[in-house]
Each structure stands twice: as C-alpha cells, then as structure tokens.
Amino acid sequence: MNIETIERQAQAKAAVQSKLPIQIGYGVLYILLTVVAIFQIFPLLWLLLFSLKNNEEIFNLTPFALPGRLHWENYEKVWTQGHISAYFFNSVWMTVTSVAVTALFASFVTFAVTRMKWKLQSFVLGLFMVGLMIPVHSTLIPLFSLFTKTHLTDHPLSLILSYIAFNLPITIMIMLGFYYTLPREVEEAAIMDGCSVNRLFFSITLPMTASVISTAVIINMIYNWNEFIFVNTFISSDKYKTLTVGIQNFIGQYTTDWGAIGATLMISILPILLAFVLLSNRIVEGIAAGSVKG
C-alpha cells in the first residue's frame, strides 16, 4: 500500500467523521419533529372519535377508546336536521368573498405604497397600521349602531365589511416585505415598452406575488372561518348564520348532543385543513421571501 492510498483513506475517514455529528443532529431533529407532529395529530384524532360516539360513550369511555359502534348518523343528523348544510355554505361564500376582496384591496394598497411615489404615501400606510392596534371588542357597539342606522344588521354585508376592514392591516403588513424584494427592473422594462399602470399591476406584479397572496389568504381564511363575535352580534336569523354560531343549536337547556357537536366541529375543520394542504408550499415561499428585505 503506497502513501497516496493511505492519504486517501485517511481523508475519507476524516470526511465520514466530520459528517457524523451532522447526521446525528438531523436524526435528533427528525425525532423531535415526529413527536411534535404526533402531538399535533392527537387533537384531530380525539375529535374524530368524539364525533362518532353518543353521549353515554363520551362520558363513560376514555377519550381515545373506540366506541362500540361508529355513529356516522351524527354527521347525517347535523347536516340535515341541524341545518349545518346552510351554515356551512354561508361560511364558505362569506369567507371566500371577504378573503378575495381583502387580498385584492391589500395588493392595491401595497403596490401604491411600495412601487409608486406620491405625497401622502407614508401617512396612508401609517393609517392602515394603526388598524392593528384597535381591539375588536371595542368596535362592537359603534359598528352595531352604524349597521343599525344603515339597515345592515342581520345582513351578510355587515360580516363581510367587518372582515375586510379588520383584515386589511395585517394583510398589508404581510405583503409589504415581499413587495420590497421585487426587482424594479421588470417593471421598468414594462413601462419602457408602453405598459400602463393598470396592466403593470394585473399582468406583471400580481402574478409575481402569488406566493405571498397565498400566505395572506390562508391567514384571512382561518380568521374569517372561525370568527364568532361579529356573527353572534350582527346576525339574528338562521338564514345568514355561519358554522361557529350554528353549533349552539345542539346545546339545549336540559340536554346537549355532544356527538352532534363533535361532528359539526369536524365538518368545520375539514375546509381549513384542505386549504392549508393545498397552499402549504406557497405559504412557506411567501413567509421566506417576505422575511428578507433587499
């Protein structure tokens, strides 16, 4: 065995030894992430089992014990007799409408603040950021008075307008960091070719911000879908109620159908889980890109 062979073997051994701590670190990290994932899945598993039990099994069995029979009729009961289908579709169309308008308006504002030059640019941005400091509960009475005078109580517009107003500041803040990272050379080239401001926004800038819009959409969707205070305050008829308030139908003065409540909660969780799975890659891209300026 010559000297070169010995040196190559020594280098290979040193390389393996240098990688060993890194591999151990990754192994520990994967184990920790697996444990965290299990703890995250536990509540969903518990809720699924909860929704497939009757009241007797819920109170007499351990939380993760399988019921004697899977009570799928809980889902049929809440969907038909409990009017959850109407509440579900109300939640869907109100959430989709408010999220779409919020994302579009926030894109308008962020584009105007970061890509255009005008006198009150900083002042307008500051006004929107002040909205982050206004507590939701402090606005219930003024909003209720306003909607009463404009005949919007017990009307979907009272919810949609409230969702848009309260979600605009956080959505703009999410988009700001991403817009600052966009290269101006693309826009300058488009303007040199005769592109108007409207076409520049809709054809070039808006498609480039798809990842951060996905991040803002899922955050807005979670808030709007789970919102309770505005619905409970502004809506009184069953025609416009959403899932969060509709759950109360199964809470009686003397008895409560806990299995039906579990089924309703499970139905309400599924759209958010589906949206998060579909947009998860975009969300990570938006957060990573928006976290660095320059």
Q: Is residue 64 part of a domain?
A: no
37-47: pLDDT as tens digits: 888 888 888 88
Together in a domain, 43 and 85: no
pTM to 2 decimals? Answer: 0.79
Q: Is the pLDDT of residue 9 over 80?
A: no
Q: Is the pLDDT of residue 291 over 60?
A: no
Tell me the two tokens of residue 38.
């299990």
CA distance 1 to 98: 75
Tell me the two tokens of residue 10.
């020594």
Together in a domain, 162 and 45: no
Confidence of residue 66 (pLDDT cuts 50, 70, 90): confident
Together in a domain, 93 and 198: yes
Together in a domain, 13 and 120: no
- Out of 2-11, 19-28, 53-62, 235-244, least confident range: 2-11
Confidence of residue 160 (pLDDT cuts 50, 70, 90): very high
CA distance 133 to 169: 10
Mean pLDDT across the stretch 86-112?
93
Q: Is the pLDDT of residue 12 over 80?
A: no
Q: Is residue 65 part of a domain?
A: no
Confidence of residue 293 (pLDDT cuts 50, 70, 90): very low
Confidence of residue 283 (pLDDT cuts 50, 70, 90): low
- The per-residue pLDDT for 138 is 87
8 Å CB contact between 224 and 99: yes
Domain count, the chain: 2
Q: Is residue 175 part of a domain?
A: yes
CA distance 103 to 25: 40
Q: Is residue 271 part of a domain?
A: yes
Together in a domain, 123 and 231: yes
Radius of gyration in angstroms for the set of CA atoms belonging to the chain, rounded to a whole number? 26
- The per-residue pLDDT for 43 is 86
Mean pLDDT across the stretch 145-161?
93
- The per-residue pLDDT for 64 is 76
Dihedral over Cα of 205, 210, 211, 215: its sign: positive
**Closest CA relative to residue 265, chosen from 81, 38, 44, 98:** 44
Together in a domain, 46 and 86: no
Three-class DSSP category at 164: helix
What's the mean pLDDT when you consider all of the chain?
83
**Structural domain boundaries enclosing 216:** 75-290
Q: Is the backbone of residue 155 left (phi > 0), alpha (psi -120 to 50) or beta?
A: beta
**Widest CA span in the chain:** 96
Together in a domain, 153 and 221: yes
Q: Is residue 61 part of a domain?
A: no
Together in a domain, 87 and 213: yes
Q: How far is CA 94 from CA 123, 147, 166, 227, 242, in A?
A: 31, 17, 15, 11, 9
Q: Is residue 86 part of a domain?
A: yes
- The per-residue pLDDT for 171 is 93
Cβ-based neighbours of 194, under 8 Å, separated by 6 or more? none
Q: Is the pLDDT of residue 255 over 80?
A: no
CATH number, residue 126: 1.10.3720.10
Together in a domain, 45 and 83: no
Q: Is residue 8 part of a domain?
A: yes
CA 153 to chain centroid, in Å, comes to 26
**Closest CA relative to residue 110, chosen from 37, 213, 27:** 213
Together in a domain, 123 and 30: no
Confidence of residue 120 (pLDDT cuts 50, 70, 90): confident
Confidence of residue 57 (pLDDT cuts 50, 70, 90): confident
Which of 78-92, 217-231, 241-255 has the highest average model confidence (pLDDT)? 217-231
Together in a domain, 137 and 259: yes
8 Å CB contact between 206 and 175: no
Q: Is residue 66 part of a domain?
A: no
